[in-house]
Structure 1
């Protein structure tokens, strides 16, 4: 038997991505690290063609084979435009799609899959791996320990608070580490929203299935949420925090990260330390048009220097003349080098939807946040930013208004509250850097993940 860190020549790992939002990119980044560390192992990366095309991964390690899989949309179907429709069609078709594609890859590679490494949303791999392929299942959860706890304890939460709206303000003190999290902060599908939708049921089943995984890993670090780390260590066969990935950029991603086609970094270089508001909501979670207008009005009124990453299709919602009037104050661009901007000394606040990858990138850079949750795990992340880690705040009144945004910027960038947030952010940044050092918890946990994925 080979040592876990020295895989046998016939190692073959199937990696199953969830092709929506920002799930696939970090999973590919982890796969690149694993492939580099285990060059004799073949990693078959399965993802939809549309998602694969957006990952910009032309220089992957030679032992990664990228496969395009069907998206689950029936031939000839015309989707309504509701993003959840495409997600649910994919989830319903995914078990059969991946089963078929893994078998084809087995034949192509000439090696049986020994481990199925999946996004945790694809929980059905528990059955596929164990019952049909005699392979181990390792799951990557794309959010933080806070939202993972909500899904792991969904049945407990429902038993304690039911699904009644009048209890939304109550906290989840009956769950370890959730004492400052309110019922209304939990993701949709736990106690509110359509609990019978395909997506809600998927998350519920995921929470029940994860304890059966050989290992569960997330993009975080133990020191950020030590209470959750201790709890998960007793709930999962093996729980591994291997982040922040923002501090461990894959070689294949480096060339992408340093691109700056709109000159954001050169402009930021001319600004005073901790003065710039960087604003970005990603490509999925954009606030509605009225709030985009309010953001612009708040920025112009505040005179705060800014870099705003906003998709071109949404620029039509900016107030007339805004771009001309604020030409010296800031810049609105369709894409910005987020990690580099957050790490620039001139950046003083990150205005975000509160998605997990964005939160952890801000933590890694030591930059306070203003969060405007939109869906999914955004609310529990924003609540953690504000009440647990105290490194930022949720936007005043929960939505962007001109005066509320202006006041929020002033609080973080100028007031004493903001100074405390900056101190707390710096402390977390130092803990994050320690975690990924050669003696750190995330460095050691990655070696543990490598062992679980490649050993036979």
Structure 2
């Protein structure tokens, strides 16, 4: 049978919003370039996803594997350790069954692009003789740190007593607060540590290494890591309308785990002056303690700026009683919102963020200054780069108990919205916006790497 596509690529993602979005966006690029693409996630997550009709993601086929918790996903597991142990046991078996079924179909799989969190995917791919490409959803700087931890090339746990630490390939020395949290407190969550460091357990066997960043953002570390593996930057993987506009009508990722307050958000923003609004969101997974939520709330209240604050339903009980009613004339609190549309809106002057990598890339790509309040995982490293390398914002410093107090929140907002630091951060953010667009445009650094990856896959399939 004559092929109607260049190759069939399976894109296998770890089942959280922050991992699905960039990998789905990459899948759209591959489809746009003539590959047949199937996105694979867990049974439970597929039943949870809200698919948006009309999105270009509708051109990507969907399949599932099991994580061992088909009825409830991660929330049904006894612990993070239990979830990952079960997923790592069941996942490879069900992926094998999926590939066996597809091998006798009209479109057998030629390539697997798999989330770096799930290195066992490569082992399965190799059994089938399939091209295997690992996809890192974090920055190269963070990946480099995890690699050094995996190889035993750095002292663990990292502590405040260590002073400044220089990791080969990074652009500046780091202190303990700048490292991924799992490397500082080894005993708090063994499962997370094993997963993030285990990303490099078999990376040497991958046919290709893909990173959701762009070369100009992290040149030193990309060059350093490229000496180890066939590494290519292919990001920022955000909807095309905000970058190169090659995928027409590609305005959103196309899937969501949360119901958005779209109309309320945009109507309110449309009524605000240019650069007047502080947008606040801590992503799909970060959880603030009750004391931190209260300090943040009152810091927003006493600031001179209007604000749009995303508080997920699971976090709403931590908002001070009466707060929403009290700030109704200067603020809007919603359970979820279309973040890209919000960041692209002219009314938004800065973004208070947990510094998840997706949020960081989105802000850089849309020219929005950042107020960094990192919580855990890779966010401290991202915050360090935001302030000291890319110079697109400030880091709100916590007190001795780890709480960013309301007066610090208010002062940082004032600096970013009205001060000289804010002006410089805005200028730098706009510069990165243009660089990000250039990277994804035809002939740009990331666009060329995507084309090279596709050519390599096709060559592997049709030598």
The TM-score normalised by the length of structure 1 is 0.88
Contact kept? 1:218, 1:243, Cα under 8 Å: no
Are 1:150 and 1:190, in contact at CA under 8 Å, matched by a contact in 2? Answer: no
2:446 corresponds to which residue? Answer: 442
Structure with larger RCO (C-alpha < 8 A, sep 6+): 1
CA contact (8 A) 2:160 2:176 kept: no
Is residue 150 of structure 1 aligned with residue 154 of structure 2? no
Does 416-425 or 161-170 show the bigger shift? 161-170
Q: 1:81 to 1:163 in 2, by over 3 A?
A: same
Which residue does the alignment assign to 2:406?
Answer: 402
Is the Cα–Cα contact under 8 Å of residues 296 and 409 in structure 2 kept in the other structure?
Answer: yes
Structure 1 pair 149–160 and aligned structure 2 pair: CA distance change class (3 A): closer
Change (3 A) 1:151 1:8: farther
**Do 1:212 and 1:236's aligned partners in 2 also have CA atoms closer than 8 Å?**
no
Deviates more, 1:378-387 or 1:189-198: 189-198
CA RMSD, 1 decimal = 3.0
Q: How many residues align?
A: 445
CA shift, 1:357, in A, is 0.3
For residues 46 and 391 of structure 1, do their structure 2 counterparts lie closer, same or farther at Cα, with a shift above 3 Å needed? same
The one of 102, 109, 112 aligned to 1:113: 109
Deviation of 1:105 (Å): 2.4
Q: Deviations over 1:217-240 (max 9, x none)?
A: 122211111112211221212423
Do structure 1's residue 193 and structure 2's residue 186 form an aligned pair? yes
1:104 maps to 101
Q: Once the 2 structures are TM-superposed, how far is the Cα of residue 252 of structure 1 from its aligned partner?
A: 7.9
**1:411-450 correspondence to structure 2 within 5 Å:** 411-450=415-454
Q: Which runs of 5+ in 2 are unaligned?
A: none
Structure 1 residue 138: Cα displacement: 0.8
1:225 aligns with 2:215: no
Q: How does 1:175-254 map to 2 (within 5 A)?
A: 175-190=168-183, 192-194=185-187, 197-246=190-239, 247-248=242-243, 254=251
Normalised by the size of structure 2, how large is the TM-score? Answer: 0.87
Counterparts of 1:52-451 in structure 2 under 5 Å? 52=46, 53-56=48-51, 58=53, 64-73=60-69, 79=76, 82=79, 85-107=82-104, 109-130=105-126, 132-155=127-150, 158-163=152-157, 165-171=159-165, 173-190=166-183, 192-194=185-187, 197-246=190-239, 247-248=242-243, 254=251, 261-397=262-398, 399-451=403-455
Equivalent residue for 1:30, pick from 26, 30, 42: 26
> Gaps (5+ residues) in structure 1?
none
